Structure 1
Amino acid sequence: MNRRSQNSQLSRWLYMASLILAGDSIYLLVYMRQGFQTSMQEVFDISYTQLGIMNSMYGLLAITAYFAGGWLSDRVATRTLLSFSLFTTGLGGFYMATIPSYPMLLALHAFWGVSTILTFWAALVKAARLWGGSDDQGRTFGILDAGRGLVGAVMMTASAWVFSRSALAADGLVSVILLYATASVAAGVCVLAFIPADHAHGSLTHRDDNVAPEGQLSVVAKMPAVWLQALIILIAYWLYLGSFEFATFAEKAFDQDKVFGASLSAFREWLRPISAIAAGFLADRIRASRAVSIAFIISALGYAALAVIPGRADLLWMLWIQISAVAIAVFALRGIYFALMEESKVPLLVTGTAVGLVSTIGFTADIFAYPMVGWLLDTYGAATGYSYYFSILAGASVFGLLLTLALGWQNQRTTPANGY
C-alpha cells in the first residue's frame, strides 16, 4: 500500500472516528437518567413524573425537528451541522451544572431537542450511510453504533468513578455533568479537525437524475417499506429507552445503592459495541430484517423475565443475566435498524428526507415512554410499577417482530433482486 493510499485510509477512519465520538457524546447529557436518575431526583428536587415530563419535553421538541433536520442534511455540509450541534449542546451542559430550577431544566431539554436533532441526527445517519458501500450497510451502521457504544461505556465507567469520588450526591452529579459537557465540546473539535470543510457529503450537489429535489418527500412517502421501518424503529427505540430503567430498577426493587446502579449502567454500555458489531455482520449475512427479527425475539423473552423476577438480593445473578439479554437485543436493534433502508432500496439522494420522516415517527417514544414509567412508579411503587412496564415492553417486542416480518415480505415482493 503506497503512502497516498495509507493517508486516504487514515483519513477515512478518522472521519468515522469523529462520527462515532460525536454520535455518543452529544447524548450523554440528555440521557443522564440511565445511570443517575435517583441522584437527579435528589439534587434537582424532582419526582419520577417530573423527571419524565422533563425528558418528554426533550422528545416533543426533537420530534418537531427530525423532519426539518432531514431536509437540512440534504443541503448543508456535514461538518457545519455536526460541529454546531456539539458545541451548543455542550454549552447547555455547563449551564445545567449550575443546578437550575425545574422550569429552566424544562427549557434546557427543549433546547437540546433542537440542538441534538435539527442540525445533527439526519446528518449523522446520512454521513454513515455514504461512508459504507451498498453491500456493507449492516457493518457500517454496526461499526458506528459499536463505536458509539464503546465511547458510551468508557464515559459511563468514567462518570461512575467520578461520581463515587464525591461524598455528596450534588458534588458528584455536578462533576458528571461537567464531564459530559466537556466531551460534547471535544467531539465538536474532532469534527472540525477531521471532516473536510467543503464536504457536503451527499447534498444536492450530488444529484440522482432519477429523483428531482422537489420530489424527495413524494418518493419517500410512497414507499410502504419506509412507513414500516418507522414503526419498527418506534418499537426498537422504546425498548432501548426501557433499558435506561435498569439502574433504578436495581436500586428500588433490589435495594441496591446508587454506586451499584451506576456500575450496572456502565456494564450495560460495555455490551453495546459487541452487540452492534455482531448484529452488523449478521445483518449483512442473513439480511437486516432477519437479524432485527431475532433481536425482537430475545427482547421479548428478556423483558418478560424481568417482569416476573422477585426483588431479592440472592437473585441478583439472575438480574445480571436478564439485563444482559435485553441489552444485547436492544443494542443489536440500534446497530442495524437504519441498515433496513438499503434492504428496502431507499434512493441515496433522499436518505436525509427518509431519515427525517422515519425518525419523526420512530423516536416519538421520547415523548410517551418517560411519563408512562414515571406514572407507573409513582402510582404502584417500584416493584409493581416496573413489573407492569416490563410486561408492556415484552408485548411491544412481539409487535415489533410482526412488523419486521411484514417488512421482509414487502421487500421480497417489491424490490428487484439487482437493486436500484
Structure 2
Amino acid sequence: MSSFLRKIGIKGKLGDNFGAIIILALSGSVIFGLPFFRFDYYDAYISTYHLTNTQMGVFGTVIGVFGIVSYLFGGVVADGMSVRKVIVVSLAGTGIGGLLHLLPLGFKGLLCVYALWGVSTTFAFWPACVKAVRVMSDKDSQGKAYGFFEGAQNIGGAVAALAAVALFNWGASRMANEVLAMKYVILFYAFVNIAMSIVALFVVKDDSMMLSGARVSFKGLVKVIKNPAVWIICLVSFCNHVFCLSIYYYIPYVTDILGASVAFGAMLGVFRKFGSIGGNIAGGYLADRFGTARLMLLAFIVMLGGQVLLLLTPVGKAGIIIVAVLFVTILVFFHMNYAMAWTMMSEGAVPVEYSGTAAGLICMAGAVPETFVSILAGNIIDTHPGESGFRYFFYFLTAVIAAGFVLILIWRNYLKRARIDKSKFDEKAMEDLKQYV
C-alpha cells in the first residue's frame, strides 16, 4: 500500500498519516447525512411531515444560527482539545438526534432536532478535522491532503446515499408507505453515525494527530482576527457555502420545471456525491502544481460561465440533457474550488498553531449562508411558483459566483503585496546586518 501511495505522490507526512486522514474524512461524510438528507427526498419529506417550502428553509436557518455560535468557540476548542473526543461526541450526538427524529414530532419538535444537529455537526468537529489534516501533511502536499480528505468524504457520502436510496425504495414500493420508508432512512443514518463514533473511539489516536494545542485558550483568537488573509478566506468560504447549499435546487428545477423523471433527478443527486470526487482529488494535485489562487480563479470562471449558460437554456424536455451536463461541469469545478479553499491558510501563511481557531472563524463565515439561503430559496419558489421562482434564485446565485471570482482576484493581489512587503523587510534586515559586519 505504501509503495502505491508513493507512486501517486503521497509521501512524507501525508503518506505516514494517510489512513488517519481517511478516517477523519469518513467521519465527516456521515455526520452531515442527517441534517441534509431532506434535500435528497425533498418532496417526500415535505409530504411526510406536512411542511411548506419556507418551513424546509427554516431548518437550514436553525442549523446556520447554531453553527455560527458553535464555530466561534469550537475553533478555539479545536486548538486545545483531544481530536478523538471531539469526533466521538459529535458523531454520537448527531446519531442521537436521528433517533429523536423518529418520534412523532411536529414542526416545533423538528426545529429542536435541527438545533441539536446545528451544534453536533459544527462546534469543534470541523475545525479539528481541518487543523488535523493540515498538521498531518507537508506544506507542499496540502492540496493533495485536502483533496483526498474531501474526496473520501464524498465517496463515503455517496455510498451512504445509495444505501439510503435502496432502503427508501424498498420501504416505498414493498410496504407502499413513504412515511415508513423515510423513517428507514433516518434510522440508517442514525445507526451509521453512532457506529462511526465507536470506530473513531478505538481507531483515532491523538498522538498520531500531532496537534500542538495543549489547552483551550482564546489567546490566538485576537491574532487570527487581525490577519487579513483570514478575512479574505472567510469571504471566499461564504461564497462557496452559498453555492454548496444552492446545489440542491438544481434537481427540483430539472424535475419540476424541465420535466425530467424523479428517477433522473435522484441519479443526479447521487452523482452530485460521486462526481465531486474527481474535482476534489484532481484539484488537490493541480493546486500543488500550479498554486491555489490560480486554480480557484479558473474554477470560478468555469462556474460563472456554466451558470450563465444554464440561465440561457430554454425550458422544456429538450433542455434536460444540456442542464444536466452544465450541472456536472459546474459541480466538478466547484468541488475543485471548495476543497482548495482550506489550502489558502498555508498559502496565506496563517500560523499552524492557530489553524483550529482560524478554521473556526472560516467555518463560521461559511455557516452564515445556512441562516438565509434555504429560507430565501423556499420563499422565492413559494412566492413565484414555477420557472420564474427558480430563475430569480439562480440570478442571485450567479451574482454570488461573480463575487467569489472578484475575491480571488483580491487574494492574488494580497499574496503579491505580501511577497513584496516580505522582500522589502528581508532587504532592510540585510542592510541593517551589514552595519555590524
Q: Equivalent residue for 1:284?
A: 288
Are 1:305 and 2:309 counterparts?
yes
Instruction: Provide the rounded CA distance (Å) in 1 between the counterparts of 2:258 and 2:394.
Output: 15
Structure 2 residue corresponding to 1:264, chosen from 241, 255, 268:
268
Q: CA deviation at 1:32?
A: 1.2
Gaps of 5+ in 2: 4-10, 427-437
Cα drift, residue 309 of structure 1: 2.7
Over aligned residues, Cα RMSD in angstroms? Answer: 2.3
1:346 corresponds to: 350
CA deviation profile, 1:245-291 (whole Å, cap 9, x unmatched): 12222221123444332221001111111110011111111111111
Aligned letter for 1:169? E
How far does residue 34 in structure 1 lie from its aligned partner after superposition? 3.0
Does the 8 Å contact 2:299/2:334 carry over to 1?
yes
> CA offsets, 1:286-309, max 9 Å, x none?
111111111111111222223333
Identify the range of structure 1 (192-201 vs 395-404) with the bigger mean alpha-carbon deviation: 192-201
Judged with a 3 Å threshold, the aligned counterparts in structure 2 of structure 1 residues 215 and 412 are, in CA distance, closer, same or farther, namely farther
Any idea what the Cα deviations from partners look like across 1:335-391, whole Å, max 9, x if unmatched? 110110000000101111111112212321111100110111001113211111112
Aligned mate of 1:115, from 113, 117, 120: 120
Amino acid at match of 1:65: S
Shifted more, 169-178 versus 198-207: the winner is 198-207
What is the match of residue 394 of structure 1? 398
Letter in structure 2 aligned against 1:205: A
**Quick one: distance in 2 between partners of 1:220 and 1:109?**
30
Q: How does 1:51-70 map to 2 (within 5 A)?
A: 51-70=56-75
Q: CA deviation at 1:158?
A: 2.1
Query: Which residue is 1:409 aligned to?
Result: 413
Among residues 180, 186, 206, which one is paired with 1:177 in the alignment?
Answer: 186
**Among 89, 104, 109, which residue is 2:109 paired with?**
104
TM-score, normalization by structure 2: 0.88
Q: Distance in 2 between matches of 1:214 and 1:378?
A: 44
Q: Is the 8 A contact 1:84 1:119 kept in 2?
A: no
Q: 1:311/1:176 Cα in 2 relative to 1: closer, same or farther (>3 Å)?
A: farther
| Pairing 1:214-225 to 2, within 5 Å after superposition | 215-225=219-229
Q: Give CA-to-partner distance per residue, 1:9-51, whole Å, 9 cap, x none.
A: 9973331221011011000111113311111101011000000
- Go from structure 1 to structure 2 and tell me whether the alpha carbon gap of 1:181 and 1:268 turns closer, same or farther (over 3 Å shift): same
Question: CA–CA distance in 1 between the matches of 2:187 and 2:68?
Answer: 27
Q: Work out whether residues 164 and 259 of structure 1, in 8 Å CA contact, stay in contact via their aligned partners in 2.
A: no
Q: Is the 8 A contact 1:69 1:356 kept in 2?
A: yes
Distance 1:405 1:46, change over 3 A: same
Identity of aligned residues (%): 26
Do structure 1's residue 124 and structure 2's residue 129 form an aligned pair?
Answer: yes
Equivalents in 1 of 2:314, 2:39: separation in Å? 22
Residue identity opposite 1:152 in structure 2: G
Larger radius of gyration: 2
User: Residues 47-67 of structure 1, C-alpha deviation per residue, up to 9 Å, x if partnerless?
Assistant: 000000111111110011111
Per the alignment, in what secondary structure is the counterpart of residue 117 of structure 1?
Answer: coil
Q: Label 1:164 to 1:214 Cα distance change in 2 as closer, same or farther (>3 A).
A: closer
In structure 2, what is the Cα distance between the partners aligned to 1:127 and 1:398? 32
Deviates more, 1:172-181 or 1:57-66: 172-181
Q: TM-score, normalised by structure 1?
A: 0.92
Code of the residue aligned with 2:417 in structure 1: it is R
Moved more, 238-247 or 371-380: 238-247
Distance 1:392 1:35 in 2: 22
1:110 to partner: Cα distance: 0.8
In 1, Cα distance between equivalents of 2:218 and 2:262? 53
Q: Does 1:196 align with 2:205?
A: yes
